[in-house]
Structure 1
Amino acid sequence: MQPDLPDIPALQRLRTRSPLVHCMTNDVVQTFTANVLLALGASPAMVIDAGEAPEFAAIADALLINVGTLTETRAQAMRGAIEHAVAANKPWTLDPVAVGALSLRTRFCQQILSLQPAVIRGNASEILALAGVNSGGRGVDATDTADSALPGARTLARQSCAIVVVTGEVDYVTDGERTCSVPGGDPLMTRVVGTGCALSAVVAACTTLPGDRLENVATACGVMKRAGAEAASQSAGPGSFVAAFIDALWREGRA
């Protein structure tokens, strides 16, 4: 297992390329997600209409599918966007929020796995559910540990041919054969809405970079962990943490 994070060059490439990331994400986190991407030099767009999303997915550099506030109508728009992204050879990332706990999103995510996601990013319970392993998820909250989900993550990576990221106190990034561990962060990151969802957007941005995709995705995890720890050290609580977190991301890779 590799704890290596050659991330500063990747961050510099991200700022230079400024990839356009099409975020079909949940309603709760859109603004936070956009600000995280902007702080790191990427360009966010939230196009969700069923008529426009497929067209835009072919234009954007990467697509994020986050099922946090999924509806039947939004599922149709997401599927159309995925199909157009795949046809245009653009990478897409899946964030399977609360999969395993609710039937619509579980069924939808199982169906779209056949459409070749570049990355799947979820908590331990979500990854175990997608891998077909009984998990103890409670809605968006994981009740399983990242360590316990690692075998399932490797299985899911091999089955889907995607890089799988299982997040927790330590994040694991695996392609089914190789695995990187990414420690760090701070518990305060779990007391604000959207850090995991925003990580998925940063992962999507990093799928556009040249080089080893597994290392680039591990970079995304490392950046978020490091910024979270720095922000927590300067914050009085969740409110001030958000501003400090965005500022910490802004400083990443600029030295």
Structure 2
Amino acid sequence: MNLSHNLQPFPASAAAHWLTQLRTASPLVHCLTNQVVQNFTANVLLALGASPAMVVARQEVGDFSAIANGLLVNVGTLNETQAEAMLLAVASANGAGVPWVLDPVAVGGLGYRTDFARQLLTMKPTAIRGNASEVMALAGFNSAGRGVDSTDDSLAALPAAIELANHSGAVVAVTGAIDYVTDGQTCYALPFGDPLMTRVVGTGCALSAVVAAFLSLDKEKALELVASACMMMAFCGGMAAGAATGPGSFVPRFLDLLYQLQPEHLMGKTL
């Protein structure tokens, strides 16, 4: 597939605009995410100016998703009880017009979560965010994932991302050394991150929650909003990695930079 005709950089001015809108709106994000990353995900959302909530009981998720501004469904530590809660939350979000994000963690390598993620796919996520192997597997392509780790390159997964976007109607973000975001027609490339981000648990999962936060601002601008979320996380991640000596010093610097980030920084002013 020749992608050169529709692969383009994402304008920093758009991300700067949506950062201002996010800080003003302070959206409430319902996170049905994996147990390993809940604290980090909440801190990332708070640092950017959103409001996280981890309501997980099946008796409550439907009511809460209907009043939240965005929903994240992350299958990282999937079990039967959680799967039931996720289906209830998604159905409620859809009924209330609340945008939701599917994060298909480790899909492709394990049958139970792969089947469940494909069931969720029929419920029309607003966006899908995964690594190359996860996106390829969800789209039905051959992939080479190893648990939560991708052994496929993000650019190699772009054809799968385009097909998945066209098939599902969702905006698809495939993250890696370079992040690619597509609605099936337009494809944005975001080369701002750093490999150190892969040495910390939860950066991708937290990004999916940030995507849900941004989508709450205007579902009609989904492609632009997903790309804005990816750009901000990668931008701050790259900056934090440059000042860090390893994973331990990366995390607090990353959170500080998300908190300090201003629209003008995305436009070139030093952060």
TM-score class normalised by the smaller sequence: over 0.9
Residue by residue over 1:172-222, the C-alpha shift from the partner in whole angstroms, topping out at 9 and shown as x without a partner, is 100001111111111110111000000000011111113622111101111
RMSD of aligned Cα (Å) = 0.9
Write out aligned runs for 1:72-91 (5 A).
Answer: 72-91=80-99
In the alignment, is residue 196 of structure 1 matched against residue 204 of structure 2? yes
Q: Alignment partner for residue 147 of structure 1, among 155, 158, 167?
A: 155
2:110 is aligned with what amino acid?
L
Q: 1:26 and 1:47 mapped to 2: Cα distance?
A: 12
Which residue does 2:268 correspond to in 1? none
In the alignment, is residue 112 of structure 1 matched against residue 112 of structure 2? no
Q: 2:20 and 2:136 mapped to 1: Cα distance?
A: 34
Count of aligned pairs between the two proteins: 255
Q: Alignment partner for residue 175 of structure 2, among 167, 176, 186?
A: 167
Q: 1:64 and 1:4 mapped to 2: Cα distance?
A: 24
Query: Does the C-alpha gap of structure 1 residues 66 and 4 become closer, same or farther in structure 2, counting only changes over 3 Å?
Result: same
Task: Describe the SS at the equivalent of 1:52.
Answer: helix
2:9 is aligned with what amino acid?
P
Q: How many percent of aligned residue pairs carry the same amino acid?
A: 58
Q: 1:235 and 1:120 mapped to 2: Cα distance?
A: 30
In the alignment, is residue 3 of structure 1 matched against residue 9 of structure 2? yes
Task: Describe the SS at the equivalent of 2:148.
Answer: coil
Which residue does 1:17 correspond to in 2? 25
Q: 1:226 and 1:4 mapped to 2: Cα distance?
A: 12
2:262 is aligned with what amino acid?
G
Which residue does 1:216 correspond to in 2? 225
1:249 is aligned with what amino acid?
L
Give the TM-score, by structure 1 length.
0.98
In the alignment, is residue 179 of structure 1 matched against residue 171 of structure 2? no
Task: Describe the SS at the equivalent of 2:180.
Answer: strand
Task: Describe the SS at the equivalent of 2:156.
Answer: helix
Q: 1:187 and 1:112 mapped to 2: Cα distance?
A: 30
Task: Describe the SS at the equivalent of 1:2.
Answer: strand
Q: CA deviation at 1:254?
A: 5.9
Which residue does 1:125 correspond to in 2? 133
In the alignment, is residue 101 of structure 1 matched against residue 105 of structure 2? no
Structure 1 stretches of 5 or more lacking a match?
Answer: none
Q: Do the aligned residues in 1 keep the contact of 2:17 with 2:263 (CA within 8 Å)?
A: no
Task: Describe the SS at the equivalent of 1:212.
Answer: helix
Which residue does 1:156 correspond to in 2? 164
Q: Alignment partner for residue 214 of structure 2, among 176, 182, 206?
A: 206
Task: Describe the SS at the equivalent of 1:164.
Answer: strand
Structure 2 stretches of 5 or more lacking a match?
Answer: 1-6, 265-271
1:125 is aligned with what amino acid?
S
Give the TM-score, by structure 2 length.
0.92
Q: 1:75 and 1:13 mapped to 2: Cα distance?
A: 33
Q: Alignment partner for residue 231 of structure 1, among 226, 240, 243?
A: 240
Q: CA deviation at 1:89?
A: 0.5
Q: 2:134 and 2:246 mapped to 1: Cα distance?
A: 28
Q: 2:262 and 2:20 mapped to 1: Cα distance?
A: 6
Residue by residue over 1:20-65, the C-alpha shift from the partner in whole angstroms, topping out at 9 and shown as x without a partner, is 0000000000000000000110000001111111110101001000
Q: Which runs of 4+ in 1 moved over 3 A?
A: none
